């Protein structure tokens, strides 16, 4: 069994796991360490190296789900991380940390790819939107199974408010919103996204998805709604898929 290492950099922690690509699932437990303050590049490289060293059985390239618009390994935004990342070759930093080829993909896109391959979106056609609720709101958009990268809909203005500053999981915690109150905000976001893109399915993921049973019944939208099957492991699994797909055909 060939194992590929996937990493997922979030606002509070960096997660890592060994992924069996053939089975499309995590093997063993996730490892995690706190995200360095501000997720500064130098500190982040050290943290990534620490995690990589914990997975000696993983071979080949390493994938990283990263919270920014990513183009050819370079970050083009930095909404919830230090602004010094903008213009930084994140793939080069990952490669240096891992000691082997590193490949970087937008974090929500990674989660979406995993869900479309082996999770809640498997076999779905039409328009599917994956939303991750955590420090911000990440989005991944698929049309007939094809990813439209870097959609970043969490930064869309809705009624004069940036979506992720209104309804992210971090906002729910900071404002001490109970599940019904938070879901009212999320429902407003879903309605706005549906009015523009008319998705057939919303997949709800991110750290908050671990508590789906507590809030899922409060969510309403014109489209179907499903919880992420891979829950908070989706970013790690999707990053591993991305790393493998960068190999020459």
The number of domains in the chain is: 2
Cβ contact 67:57 at 8 Å: no
On the question of pLDDT at 218 being above 80, the answer is yes
Statement to judge: residues 80 and 174 lie in one domain: no
Domain membership flag for residue 8: yes
Domain membership flag for residue 116: no
Tokens of 172: 């729910």
What integer best gives the mean pLDDT of the chain? 94
**Which residue range is the domain that position 12 belongs to?**
3-109+233-245
Write down the pLDDT at residue 207.
Answer: 86
- Write out pLDDT tens, residues 144-192: 999 999 999 999 998 789 999 999 999 999 999 999 999 999 999 999 9
On the question of pLDDT at 249 being above 60, the answer is no
- Write out pLDDT tens, residues 113-127: 999 999 999 999 999
Percent of all residues in the chain with a pLDDT value above 90, rounded to a whole number: 87
The pairing of strands 25-34 and 74-75 is unpaired
Write down the pLDDT at residue 232.
Answer: 84
Domain membership flag for residue 142: yes
Statement to judge: residues 133 and 41 lie in one domain: no
Statement to judge: residues 103 and 149 lie in one domain: no
Cβ contact 102:52 at 8 Å: no
Q: How confident is the model at residue 248 (pLDDT cuts 50, 70, 90)?
A: low
Statement to judge: residues 161 and 90 lie in one domain: no
- Write out pLDDT tens, residues 50-86: 999 999 999 889 999 999 999 999 999 988 889 999 9
CATH number for position 90: 3.30.420.40
Q: Strands, E, within the chain: which ranges?
A: 3-9, 13-20, 25-34, 62-66, 70-71, 74-75, 102-106, 127-133, 137-143, 146-148, 157-158, 161-162, 201-205, 224-227
Statement to judge: residues 84 and 156 lie in one domain: no
On the question of pLDDT at 193 being above 80, the answer is yes
């Amino acid at each position: 069994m060939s194992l590929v290492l996937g990493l997922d950099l979030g606002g509070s922690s960096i997660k890592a796991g060994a992924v069996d690509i053939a089975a499309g699932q995590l093997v063993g437990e996730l490892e995690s360490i706190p995200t360095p303050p501000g997720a500064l590049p130098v500190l982040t490289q050290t943290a990534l190296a620490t995690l990589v060293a914990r997975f000696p059985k993983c071979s080949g390239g390493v994938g990283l789900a990263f919270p920014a618009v990513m183009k050819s390994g370079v970050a083009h935004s930095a909404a919830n991380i230090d602004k010094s990342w903008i213009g930084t070759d994140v793939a080069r930093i990952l490669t240096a940390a891992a000691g082997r080829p590193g490949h970087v993909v937008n974090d929500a896109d990674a989660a979406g790819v995993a869900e479309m391959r082996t999770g809640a979106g498997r076999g779905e056609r039409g328009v599917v939107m994956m939303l991750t609720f955590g420090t911000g709101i990440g989005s991944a958009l698929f049309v007939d199974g094809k990813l439209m990268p870097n959609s970043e809909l969490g930064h869309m203005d809705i009624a004069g408010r940036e979506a992720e500053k209104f309804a992210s999981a971090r906002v729910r915690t900071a404002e001490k919103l109970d599940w019904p109150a938070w879901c009212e905000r999320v429902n407003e976001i879903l309605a706005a996204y549906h009015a523009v893109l008319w998705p057939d399915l919303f997949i709800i993921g991110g750290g908050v998805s671990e508590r789906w049973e507590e809030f899922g019944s409060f969510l309403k939208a014109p489209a179907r709604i499903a919880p992420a099957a891979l829950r908070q492991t989706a970013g790690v699994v999707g990053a591993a898929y991305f790393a493998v797909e960068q190999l020459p055909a």
